């Protein structure tokens, strides 16, 4: 059982960029040890939130507590416990994977040489890069680079791991391996996974939030969020020559046309079949609800 | 869209992208600002040869426009590198490369855009010069410094230099960017181009090897412009148009066409795959014993976590520093660059030292270090800036900076780690020249090889300067987030530092940022006199480094989306951390050391800027010049007590028979001197001291039988002592303070090198203190010309007091630090019947001694192999002078004096021969001839000055410099042959031309010139040409007549006119004249042609007068044949030399010779 104050607690986080773009609006999050998913479309403010939580940028207001400690007042407390993998990492010239990982392990406080060497070797093994550890990082493929980034994020035994789109570019086997790594870490620590790959969150995360236009529009466990939509989702394959309904929650391509999912309290007509809510439906519904609420506020 | 339109569109987009970036915003104002600094700094303009010409003179435009291409190479490398890298930086390269466009057209269009931008950047300098009239109108610069807008020079230099250079090197940069897919390639090419430029300018041109080859190798064209403008007179400079000489044309073609051709080939062959793909994998094999290998990694990977050891951020900082340092030397780039640097350094050292124009020289410690440092400085400064910049930006890649920022390492760990690595790198670069010194010494002079001796020079002088630059670059990269802008600021800073190093724009040592501490190390004194100075100055530099690094620490960005207020708040928040402590420590140390430096340089050392010196001279002229009145003494005695440990000397100087028409005795005090007490006839007398000049009230005894100097000029010693006053001075002289620019000190516990002028006042008024430059005279409210002063009121030309019956004694106190039995000194007492001049030396440890024909040489062990040759030279040259003049001064001893402490001169009977003039040259070759000529000239000068009782009167340079200089060259001709004489003549001619290209003040006439550089070179040649017209014997007879007349009180110009005729006297003492005789072979005869010029209003004006020349056969006789007027023919009977028999300097002596049938005339 998690102790009181354990985990990450975000309250009333706001951030507006100098150009006037409001990236975060009263964001509240409570993340207990374990894997926590953060879903949202592009531009929703996920990366801003991730960077803010990683102390890379300061919010205009709000608080962030890690295990009860105000990390805005004491960012080093968080940094000493943080593993961070940004959304994109480029190549790094003239240095091998082992050397670069060694360097970042040093920057993360592993200053004892033998301990650092052991950790580096373990991390490389963990992300399946042992065989390529002495290759120049500049020669790594995109997938290898992601794995390498994860190894760096894991260096220093982080209490809080923030990973932004970690599995994009990984093949299924690597992705599965990575899921296991994350799950392993999440057993004792807080792992915040930002992604737009709903399957990752669905299969890994105990809880999640959905972020849209800087606001949390849904929060809960995948099951509880899905339960809210139980009996309200309907789907059918709309042929190609037929217009798509305007209130579609989401549309996906099928061989015979488009599979359309709508939300309604009752079946729209006989062509629609009940849809068992999945996290993807929850995601789209939350975005749609958020939009409607904003429009209502504006009106 | 057709290809042409596509190319144009790409060019436009590239141009706009370049304009939007911060590079333009930094470089453009930076260049305009730099141009303004240049324009406003009269000394700087003077260094560029812009005297007597407007500050916006065309030649300055040419020099600036082409010269800046050298440093702007790095900015261009960035601009052309972006042609390839821009898409990759935005991760759009795959998108762009997959579009159906022509890749060559795409890249070529971008190349054109970058080319337009690159060409426009240097225009900023020209814009700066367009502000000159406005500055003149505002009174910021004098009106006569404003010339018409040099539109033609601007356009011409843009089209002839900037555009072709940018096109050519831009093509190379583009090719390098294509090959490396990064800006590293273009930067590497820029570094190589700079190295080539350095070789061209410093080794080939600086070493006088081949101006044409230097022109060919110089991608900027600067070498050729300098070559052409150096030879221009001020008048030519004011309307300069750089001529498209064959070497320059070849240079432009070489640096434009082949690079463009290469680019065409590269663009035609480059494939999308090359630009799209990452590097191919390369597995590094690692041995099992590699320390990085972790045994049993697979097992440990799944092992339970070990408890982490406590974090030591100090250790992390060291690890970070080691990591950055290791990466800087990884791969082939850095080692190759250093190897090339060392290789060119060795080549440069051979050309500059071993094969020096005044050599061959022997590459001993003390000589070779400063020369090699000068050679390396330009390159290591830019290399340090570039390498530190790369280090600062190492994490500046997508995602990596965020990962770094999110690590738990304090900012201090990352900044200080980089800082330590940067400082180590700077130190490594500073030690690179040491390798070159070792190699050169081992090869050229194995006996002088020392591992340890040269090391302090680079470690203590060069390294701290480079560390300052490294710290500044790190700060620039901390403050400026845009990498290109930060690089541009760093390079501009490096350029300004190099300019300051070359032209000494700033002369106050603590303000010489990035410039090595100045020290001159000599064999005897060693580092002793310098260590306090160097260590304090180094501490100051390290304090500045600490402050800069602390600022970098405070400013180092951490995180994203940072605004200036956020960064400011963050910086303030870091103040209580180590950054604040470091800054505070740096400021305190800088303040403390600066207090010491200021006291030593300014309060004790008397440092003044050039402007302050001129201002003080102007004040001196206003205060003292009108009071100049004739004076004389009958002689006297000086007793000097020297305390080497206390760096103090006390002197009691008794002057007998002192007379002065005004009843006042004037004189100039030596530096650091104080008159404690003065008595006249035993009574204490009032002394007024101001601006280092004193005036002593003699009272009636001085006027008792005052000489009527205006009428008789009688300053002779025949008057009895009873006819004047007896004056006694008690003086204290402290050789305190530190020399700002490495001048050797005469009084130190490591050795005393004393000359009369160091311890005794120089009686009279010194006309060399008069302000000569018209602009300075006007600025300080002085009349157009200084008033004439009576000859008898002026200081003695060579000595501290006029001729008399003099005795002197010097007593050296024993130093506590030196074993009395090991101390040594030269003769400590003497007497003279001419002007008072003497010298003596004291050593805490005995020097070596050698004796040849009664002359003793005091020398160091490193000169044991040279001393016999030196003594032989002294003996032979003395004999030669005696043969020519019929007499020669006695030489009792020869002294190996410290480097740069005075020039070769005979003080009493001690021949003062400083290391740089007498002890560096090899036993054979040009340098040896030059030393012999210098020795003969010094002996002759002493003889003539003593014979005439010469004062610093108008025209005295002819007698003190011109005639001895001719005698020196003539002695070399008689002893070493015509070729030796010809080589000397050619070298001095070159120096005259260079001197007229860099005048400090208008050259009006020899008579009115004062002590200026061109006089030293011109008068010997003009005298030699005059001697050709009458013959040596007649010339000596005329000189003797002049000596007698001057000694009798006649003014030198009148005495000369009486001796040689009005015409020759007017030419010898009048405006400088030059001639150029050309001897060419034509079938069976030899054609002789000639041309003459006279210097008028800042330029050489051709004269249209019949020219008669003298033909001198090389048969050992002094016989001369008069030929003329030229053009004329001569018979080809025997080898001969033709000289224009007219007091002038021959511009190119080498073509005055016919070497006989089969000779290589």
ipTM: 0.90
Who's near B826: CB < 8 A, 6+ residues apart? B839, B840, B841, B842, B858, B893, B895, B910
Of the candidates A90, A94, A152, which has its C-beta nearest B398's C-beta? A90
Tens-place pLDDT, residues B496-527: 888 778 777 788 999 999 999 999 888 888 88
Q: What is the DSSP string of B665-721?
A: EEEEPPTTEEEEEEEETTEE--EEEETTEEEEE-THHHHTT---TTTT----TTS-G
The answer to whether the CB atoms of A98 and B292 lie below 8 A apart is yes
Same domain as B356, residue B239: no
What's the CA gap between A47 and B561, in Å, rounded?
12
**Residues 657..686 of B with a Cβ closer than 8 Å to A: which?**
none
- In terms of CA atoms, which chain A residue is nearest residue B559? A56
The answer to whether the CB atoms of A107 and B316 lie below 8 A apart is yes
Residue A227 is encoded by which pair of tokens?
Answer: 């339960």
Cβ of A59 under 8 Å from any chain B Cβ? no
Domain that holds residue B325: 319-604
pLDDT of residue B320: 95
Cβ of B311 under 8 Å from any chain A Cβ? yes
Report, as an integer, the average pLDDT of A237-257.
88
Of the candidates A102, A122, A135, which has its C-beta nearest B283's C-beta? A135
- In terms of CA atoms, which chain A residue is nearest residue B407? A108
Tens-place pLDDT, residues B921-934: 988 889 999 999 99
Cβ of B1089 under 8 Å from any chain A Cβ? no
Residue B273 has pLDDT above 90, yes or no: no
| CATH code, domain with B1123 | 2.60.40
**Residues 262..281 of B with a Cβ closer than 8 Å to A: which?**
278-281
Q: What is the DSSP string of B643-661?
A: ETTTTEEEEEEEEEEEEET
Is B742 part of any domain?
A: no
| Cis check: omega of the bond before B1125, within 30 degrees of 0 | yes
Cβ of A43 under 8 Å from any chain B Cβ? no
The residue out of B581, B604, B627 marking a domain boundary is B604
Residue A92 has pLDDT above 70, yes or no: yes
Is B780 part of any domain?
A: no
Nearest-CA distance from A224 to chain B in Å? 34
Chosen CATH of A8-221 out of 3.40.50.300, 3.40.50.2300, 3.20.20.120, 1.10.10.10: 3.40.50.300
Which residue has better confidence, B216 or B144?
A: B216
Cβ of A124 under 8 Å from any chain B Cβ? yes
Residue B302 has pLDDT above 50, yes or no: no
pLDDT of residue B605: 86
Cβ of B320 under 8 Å from any chain A Cβ? yes
How many structural domains are present in chain B?
Answer: 3
Residue whose pair of structure tokens reads 């041109």 in the numeric block: B205
Q: Which chain B residues are within 8 Å of A115, Cβ to Cβ?
A: 306, 308-309
Q: C-alpha distances in angstroms, A250 versus A41, A273, B49, B554, B941?
A: 13, 15, 79, 50, 105
Same domain as B171, residue B58: yes
Query: What are residue A232's DSSP bridge partners?
Result: none
What is the dihedral angle through the alpha carbons of B934, B937, B942, B947, rounded to the nearest 10 degrees? 180
Cβ of B332 under 8 Å from any chain A Cβ? no
pLDDT of residue B309: 63
Residue B69 has pLDDT above 90, yes or no: no
- In terms of CA atoms, which chain B residue is nearest residue A127? B301
The answer to whether the CB atoms of A122 and B301 lie below 8 A apart is yes
Is B481 part of any domain?
A: yes
Cβ of A95 under 8 Å from any chain B Cβ? yes
Does the pTM of the predicted model rise above 0.90? no
Question: Which has the minimum average pLDDT: B71-80, B902-911, B1048-1057?
Answer: B71-80
Question: Which has the minimum average pLDDT: A149-153, B502-506, B537-541?
Answer: B502-506
C-beta neighbour count of B937 within 10 angstroms: 26
Q: Which chain A residues are within 8 Å of B414, Cβ to Cβ?
A: 107
The residue out of B273, B300, B328 marking a domain boundary is B273
Residue B442 is encoded by which pair of tokens?
Answer: 């081992």
Of the candidates B300, B400, B402, which has its C-beta nearest A118's C-beta? B300
Cβ of B403 under 8 Å from any chain A Cβ? yes
pLDDT of residue B212: 81
What's the CA gap between A239 and A256, in Å, rounded?
6
Mutate to test the interface with A, among B315, B402, B558 (most CBs of A within 10 A): B402
Per-residue confidence band for B1025, with pLDDT thresholds at 50, 70 and 90? very high
The bridge status of strand B664-668 relative to strand B673-680 is unpaired
The answer to whether the CB atoms of B308 and A152 lie below 8 A apart is no
Query: Which stretches of B991-1084 are assigned E, i.e. beta strand?
Result: 1073-1082
Residue A69 has pLDDT above 80, yes or no: yes
Is B125 part of any domain?
A: yes
- In terms of CA atoms, which chain B residue is nearest residue A139? B281
For residue A16, give the H/E element and its range: strand A8-16
The answer to whether the CB atoms of A90 and B311 lie below 8 A apart is no
Same domain as B327, residue B267: no
Question: Which has the minimum average pLDDT: B165-174, B453-462, B1143-1152?
Answer: B1143-1152
Nearest-CA distance from B190 to chain A in Å? 20
Per-residue confidence band for B306, with pLDDT thresholds at 50, 70 and 90? very low
The residue out of B604, B626, B655 marking a domain boundary is B604
Query: What are residue B647's DSSP bridge partners?
Result: none
Tens-place pLDDT, residues A161-194: 999 888 776 778 877 877 887 888 888 788 999 8
Same domain as B191, residue B334: no
Q: Which chain B residues are within 8 Å of A18, Cβ to Cβ?
A: 563
Question: Which has the minimum average pLDDT: B83-92, B149-158, B533-542, B686-695?
Answer: B83-92
Mean of per-residue pLDDT scores for chain B: 85
**B1104 neighbors B987 (Cβ within 8 angstroms):** no
pLDDT of residue B44: 61
Residue whose pair of structure tokens reads 């600490």 in the numeric block: B546
Residue B683 is encoded by which pair of tokens?
Answer: 């009574």
pLDDT of residue A204: 87
Any idea where the domains of chain A sit in the sequence? 8-221, 226-298
Of the candidates A56, A95, A112, which has its C-beta nearest B402's C-beta? A56
Residue A4 has pLDDT above 50, yes or no: yes
Mutate to test the interface with B, among A72, A109, A187 (most CBs of B within 10 A): A109
Residue A9 is encoded by which pair of tokens?
Answer: 């607690």
Same domain as B325, residue B381: yes
Cβ of A77 under 8 Å from any chain B Cβ? no
**Residues 565..624 of B with a Cβ closer than 8 Å to A: which?**
566
State residue B187 phi and psi, 5-degree precision. Answer: -65, -35
Cβ of A57 under 8 Å from any chain B Cβ? yes
Residue whose pair of structure tokens reads 């016919």 in the numeric block: B1154
Q: Which of A35-39, B196-200, B728-732, B1098-1102 has the highest mean pLDDT?
A: B728-732
The answer to whether the CB atoms of B316 and A58 lie below 8 A apart is no
What's the CA gap between B64 and B50, in Å, rounded?
12
Per-residue confidence band for B292, with pLDDT thresholds at 50, 70 and 90? very low
Report, as an integer, the average pLDDT of B1037-1046.
94
Residue B193 is encoded by which pair of tokens?
Answer: 């181009």
The answer to whether the CB atoms of B294 and A55 lie below 8 A apart is no
**Residues 905..964 of B with a Cβ closer than 8 Å to A: which?**
none
What's the CA gap between B611 and B893, in Å, rounded?
40
Is B1058 part of any domain?
A: no
Q: Which of A169-178, B236-245, B477-486 has the highest mean pLDDT?
A: B477-486
Q: Which chain B residues are within 8 Å of A77, Cβ to Cβ?
A: none
Of the candidates B301, B404, B559, which has its C-beta nearest A107's C-beta? B404
What's the CA gap between B514 and B516, in Å, rounded?
7
Identify the three-state secondary structure at position B853.
coil
What's the CA gap between B533 and B516, in Å, rounded?
12
What's the CA gap between B369 and B461, in Å, rounded?
10
State residue A199 phi and psi, 5-degree precision. Answer: -60, -35
pLDDT of residue B194: 80
The bridge status of strand B839-843 relative to strand B673-680 is unpaired
Per-residue confidence band for B307, with pLDDT thresholds at 50, 70 and 90? very low
Nearest-CA distance from B559 to chain A in Å? 4
pLDDT of residue A15: 93
Q: Which chain A residues are within 8 Å of B400, Cβ to Cβ?
A: 89-90, 92
- In terms of CA atoms, which chain B residue is nearest residue A106? B316
Of the candidates B303, B399, B561, which has its C-beta nearest A88's C-beta? B399
**Residues 235..294 of A with a Cβ closer than 8 Å to B: which?**
none
Per-residue confidence band for B467, with pLDDT thresholds at 50, 70 and 90? very high
Per-residue confidence band for B914, with pLDDT thresholds at 50, 70 and 90? very high
Cβ of A110 under 8 Å from any chain B Cβ? yes
The answer to whether the CB atoms of B403 and A99 lie below 8 A apart is no
Question: Which has the minimum average pLDDT: A140-149, A237-246, B834-843, B899-908?
Answer: A140-149
The answer to whether the CB atoms of A157 and B182 lie below 8 A apart is no
Cβ of A188 under 8 Å from any chain B Cβ? no
Mean of per-residue pLDDT scores for chain A: 88
Cβ of B29 under 8 Å from any chain A Cβ? no
Per-residue confidence band for B1157, with pLDDT thresholds at 50, 70 and 90? low
What's the CA gap between B617 and B773, in Å, rounded?
12
Cβ of B283 under 8 Å from any chain A Cβ? yes
- In terms of CA atoms, which chain A residue is nearest residue B283? A135
Q: Identify which of B178, B243, B217, B188 has the alpha carbon closest to the alpha carbon of residue B74.
A: B188
């Amino acid at each position: 059982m998690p102790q009181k104050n354990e985990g990450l607690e975000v309250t009333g986080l706001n951030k507006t960029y100098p150009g006037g773009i409001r990236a975060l609006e009263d964001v509240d999050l409570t993340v207990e040890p374990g894997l926590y998913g953060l879903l949202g479309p592009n531009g929703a403010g996920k990366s801003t939130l991730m960077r803010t939580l990683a102390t890379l940028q300061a919010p205009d207001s709000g608080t962030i507590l890690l295990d009860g400690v105000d990390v805005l007042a004491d960012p080093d407390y968080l940094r000493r416990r943080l593993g961070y993998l940004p959304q994109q990492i480029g190549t790094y010239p003239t240095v091998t994977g082992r050397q670069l990982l060694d360097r970042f392990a040093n920057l993360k406080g592993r200053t004892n040489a033998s301990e650092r060497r052991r950790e580096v070797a373990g991390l490389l093994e963990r992300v399946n890069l042992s065989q390529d550890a002495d290759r120049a990082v500049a020669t790594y493929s995109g997938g290898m680079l992601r794995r390498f980034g994860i190894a760096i994020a894991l260096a220093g035994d982080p209490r809080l791991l923030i990973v932004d789109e970690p599995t994009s570019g990984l093949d299924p086997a690597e992705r599965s391996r990575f899921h296991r790594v994350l799950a392993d870490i999440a057993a004792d620590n807080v792992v915040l996974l930002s992604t737009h790959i709903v399957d990752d969150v669905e299969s890994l995360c105990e809880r999640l939030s959905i972020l849209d236009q800087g606001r949390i529009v849904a929060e809960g466990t995948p099951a509880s969020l899905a339960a809210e939509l139980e009996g309200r989702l309907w789907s059918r394959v709309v042929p190609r020559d037929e217009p798509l309904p305007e209130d579609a929650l989401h549309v996906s391509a099928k061989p015979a046309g488009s599979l359309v999912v709508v939300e309604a309290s009752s079946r729209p007509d006989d062509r629609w079949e009940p849809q068992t809510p999945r996290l993807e439906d929850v995601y789209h519904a939350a975005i749609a609800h958020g939009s409607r609420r904003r429009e209502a506020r504006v009106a | 869209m057709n290809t042409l339109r596509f190319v144009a569109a790409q060019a436009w987009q590239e141009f706009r992208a370049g304009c939007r970036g911060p590079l333009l915003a930094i470089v453009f104002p930076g260049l305009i600002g730099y141009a303004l600094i240049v324009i406003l700094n009269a000394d700087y303009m003077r260094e560029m040869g812009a005297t007597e010409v407007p500050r916006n003179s065309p030649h300055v435009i040419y020099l600036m426009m082409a010269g800046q291409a050298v440093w702007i190479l790095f900015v261009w490398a960035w601009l052309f590198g972006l042609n390839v890298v821009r898409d990759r930086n935005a991760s759009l390269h795959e998108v762009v490369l997959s579009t159906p466009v022509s890749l060559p057209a795409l890249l070529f269009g971008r190349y054109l855009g970058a080319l337009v931008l690159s060409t426009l950047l240097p225009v900023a300098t020209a814009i700066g010069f367009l502000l000159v009239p406005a500055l003149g109108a505002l009174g910021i610069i004098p009106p006569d410094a404003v010339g018409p807008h040099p539109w033609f020079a601007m356009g011409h230099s843009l089209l002839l230099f900037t555009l072709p250079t940018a096109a050519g090197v831009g093509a190379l940069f583009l090719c390098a960017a294509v090959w490396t897919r990064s800006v590293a390639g273009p930067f590497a090419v820029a570094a190589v181009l700079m190295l080539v430029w350095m070789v061209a300018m410093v080794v080939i041109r600086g070493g006088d090897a081949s101006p044409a080859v230097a022109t060919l190798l110089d991608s900027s064209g600067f070498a050729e412009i300098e070559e052409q403008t150096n030879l221009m007179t001020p008048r030519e400079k004011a309307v300069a148009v750089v001529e498209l000489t064959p070497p320059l044309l070849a240079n432009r073609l070489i640096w434009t066409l082949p690079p463009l051709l290469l680019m065409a080939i590269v663009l035609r062959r480059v494939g999308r795959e090359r630009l799209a793909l990452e590097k191919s994998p390369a597995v590094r094999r690692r041995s099992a014993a590699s320390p990085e290998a972790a045994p049993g990694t697979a097992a440990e990977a799944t092992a339970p976590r070990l408890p982490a050891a406590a974090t030591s951020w100090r250790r992390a900082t060291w690890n970070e520093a080691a990591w950055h340092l290791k990466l800087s030397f990884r791969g082939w780039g850095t080692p190759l660059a250093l190897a090339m640097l060392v290789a060119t350094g060795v080549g440069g050292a051979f050309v500059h030292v071993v094969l020096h124009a005044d050599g061959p020289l022997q590459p001993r410690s003390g000589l070779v270090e400063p020369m090699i440092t000068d050679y390396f400085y330009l390159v290591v400064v830019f290399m340090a800036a570039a390498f530190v910049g790369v280090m600062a930006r190492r994490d500046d890649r997508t995602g990596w900076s965020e990962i770094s920022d999110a690590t738990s390492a304090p900012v201090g760990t990352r900044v200080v780690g980089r800082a330590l690595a940067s400082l180590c790198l700077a130190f490594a670069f500073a030690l690179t020249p040491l390798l070159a010194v070792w190699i050169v010494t081992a090869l050229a002079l194995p006996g002088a090889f020392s591992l340890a001796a040269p090391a302090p020079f680079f470690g203590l002088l060069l390294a701290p300067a480079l560390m300052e630059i490294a710290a500044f670059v790190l700060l620039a990269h901390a403050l400026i987030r845009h990498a290109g802008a930060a690089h541009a600021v760093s390079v501009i800073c490096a350029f300004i530092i190099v300019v300051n190093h070359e032209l000494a724009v700033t002369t106050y040592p603590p303000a010489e940022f990035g410039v090595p501490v100045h020290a001159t190390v000599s064999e005897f004194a060693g580092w002793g006199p310098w260590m306090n100075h160097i260590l304090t100055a180094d501490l100051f530099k390290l304090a500045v480094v600490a402050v800069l690094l602390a600022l970098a620490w405070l400013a180092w960005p951490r995180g994203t989306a940072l605004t200036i207020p956020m960064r400011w708040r963050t910086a303030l928040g870091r103040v209580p951390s180590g950054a604040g402590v470091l800054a505070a420590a740096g400021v305190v140390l800088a303040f403390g050391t600066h207090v010491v430096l200021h006291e030593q340089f300014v309060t004790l050392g008397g440092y003044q800027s050039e402007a302050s010196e001129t201002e003080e001279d102007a004040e001196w002229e206003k205060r003292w010049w009108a009071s100049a009145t004739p004076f004389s003494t009958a002689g006297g005695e000086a007793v000097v007590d020297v305390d080497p440990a206390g760096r103090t000397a006390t002197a009691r100087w008794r002057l007998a028979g002192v007379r002065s028409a005004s009843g006042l005795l004037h004189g100039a005090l030596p530096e650091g001197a104080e008159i404690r007490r003065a008595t006249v006839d035993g009574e204490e007398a009032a002394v007024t001291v101001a601006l280092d000049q004193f005036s002593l009230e003699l009272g009636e005894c001085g006027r008792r039988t005052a000489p009527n100097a205006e009428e008789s000029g009688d300053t002779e010693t025949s008057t009895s002592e009873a006819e004047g006053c007896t004056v006694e001075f008690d003086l204290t002289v402290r050789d305190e303070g530190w020399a700002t620019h490495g001048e050797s000190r005469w009084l130190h516990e490591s050795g005393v090198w004393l000359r009369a002028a160091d311890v005794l006042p120089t009686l009279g008024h010194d006309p060399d203190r008069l302000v000569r430059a018209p602009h300075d005279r006007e600025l300080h409210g002085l009349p157009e010309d200084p008033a004439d002063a009576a000859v008898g009121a002026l200081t003695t030309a060579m000595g501290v007091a006029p001729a008399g019956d003099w005795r002197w004694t010097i007593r050296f106190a024993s130093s506590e630090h030196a074993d009395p039995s090991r101390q040594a000194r030269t003769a400590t007492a003497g007497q003279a019947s001419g002007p008072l001049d003497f010298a003596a030396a004291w050593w805490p440890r005995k020097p070596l001694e050698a004796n040849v024909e009664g002359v003793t040489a005091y020398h160091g062990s490193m000169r044991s192999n040279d001393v016999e040759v030196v003594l032989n030279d002294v003996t032979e040259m003395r004999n030669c002078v005696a043969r020519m003049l019929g007499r020669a001064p006695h030489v009792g001893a020869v002294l190996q004096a410290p480097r740069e402490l005075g020039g070769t001169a005979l003080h009493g009977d001690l021949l003062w021969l400083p290391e740089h003039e007498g002890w560096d040259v090899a036993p054979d070759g040009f340098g040896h001839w030059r030393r012999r000529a210098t020795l003969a000239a010094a002996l002759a000068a002493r003889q003539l000055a003593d014979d005439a009782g010469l004062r610093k009167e108008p025209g005295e340079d002819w007698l003190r410099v011109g005639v001895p200089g001719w005698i020196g060259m003539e002695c070399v001709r008689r002893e070493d042959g015509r070729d030796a004489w010809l080589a000397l003549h050619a070298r001095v001619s070159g120096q005259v031309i260079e001197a007229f290209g860099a005048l400090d003040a208008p050259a009006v006439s020899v008579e009115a010139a004062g002590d200026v550089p061109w006089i030293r070179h011109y008068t010997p040649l003009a005298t030699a040409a005059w001697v050709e017209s009458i013959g040596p014997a007649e010339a000596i007879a005329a000189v003797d007549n002049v000596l007698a007349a001057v000694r009798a009180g006649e003014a030198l110009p009148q005495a000369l006119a009486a001796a040689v005729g009005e015409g020759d006297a007017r030419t010898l003492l009048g405006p400088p004249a030059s001639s150029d005789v050309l001897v060419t072979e034509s079938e069976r005869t030899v054609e002789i042609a000639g041309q003459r010029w006279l210097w008028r209003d800042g330029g050489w004006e051709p004269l249209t007068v019949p020219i008669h020349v003298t033909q001198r056969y090389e048969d050992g006789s002094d016989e001369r044949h008069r030929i003329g007027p030229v053009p004329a023919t001569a018979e080809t009977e025997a080898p001969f030399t033709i000289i224009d028999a007219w007091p002038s300097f021959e511009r190119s002596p080498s073509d005055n010779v016919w070497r006989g049938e089969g000779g290589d005339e």
